[in-house]
Amino acid sequence: MATFKTNREFFNAVVNGTEITADMVDFAKSAIEKMDSKNKNRRETMTKEQEANEVMKSDILSYMGENGRQSAKSLADYFEVSTQKISALMKQLADSGKVIITRDKFEGSSSKVNVYSLVES
C-alpha cells in the first residue's frame, strides 16, 4: 500500500510535483474506492426526511383519490405544511407520472394556479 498516511500528504506530493509513483497510484485508487462505497451507501439509504416525504406523498395520493383535483394551497392547508413543501412533493409525483399539473382557476381564485390531478389508471 502507499506510504501516505493522509490525503493531505498525497495532495501535497502531487502539488509539489513529485513524480507519480506506483504507491501514489495505489493510494489514489484506494481513495476512489472508498468514495464510491460511501456514495453508493448514500444513494441507497433514504434520510428520515425522505422517508417522511414518501409517506406524505402516499397520503396525498390517497386524499386526492377521495377528493379529486387539488391546489397546492388546499393540500398545504389540509396537511398543515407549507405550500412550498407541497409544491416540491407534487413536482416529484408529476415527474414519476402519478399526477398531472395544469394551470387553472381553483376554489374561487382570481388567477390561475397549479392544479394537481391524479393520472388516470
Q: How many folded domains does the chain comprise?
A: 2
Q: Using CA atoms, how far apart are residues 61 and 89, in angstroms rounded to an integer?
A: 11
pLDDT(13) > 70: yes
Mean per-residue pLDDT for 39-61? Answer: 92
Model pLDDT for residues 61-70, shown as the tens digit of each residue: 999 999 999 9
- The number of helices, as runs of H, and strands, as runs of E, in the chain is 5, 3
* pLDDT given at position 1: 45
Q: Could you say which DSSP state residue 80 is in?
A: T
Same domain, 32 and 66: no
Q: Using CA atoms, how far apart are residues 58 and 54, in angstroms rounded to an integer?
A: 6
At 44, the pLDDT band (50, 70, 90 cuts) reads confident
Same domain, 68 and 113: yes
Torsion of CA 77, 81, 84, 89, to 10 degrees: -100
Same domain, 39 and 76: no
Q: What is the CATH number of the domain that holds 82?
A: 1.10.10.10
* pLDDT given at position 106: 81
The pLDDT > 70 percentage for the chain reads 98
Strands 70-71 and 99-104: unpaired
Strand order in the sheet with 99-104: 70-71, 113-118, 99-104
Asked, for residue 1, whether it belongs to a domain, the answer is no
Same domain, 32 and 91: no
3-state class (DSSP) for residue 37: helix
The boundaries of the domain holding residue 37 are: 7-44
| Residues comprising the chain, all counted | 121
pLDDT top residue among 98 and 110: 98
* pLDDT given at position 83: 94
* pLDDT given at position 108: 72
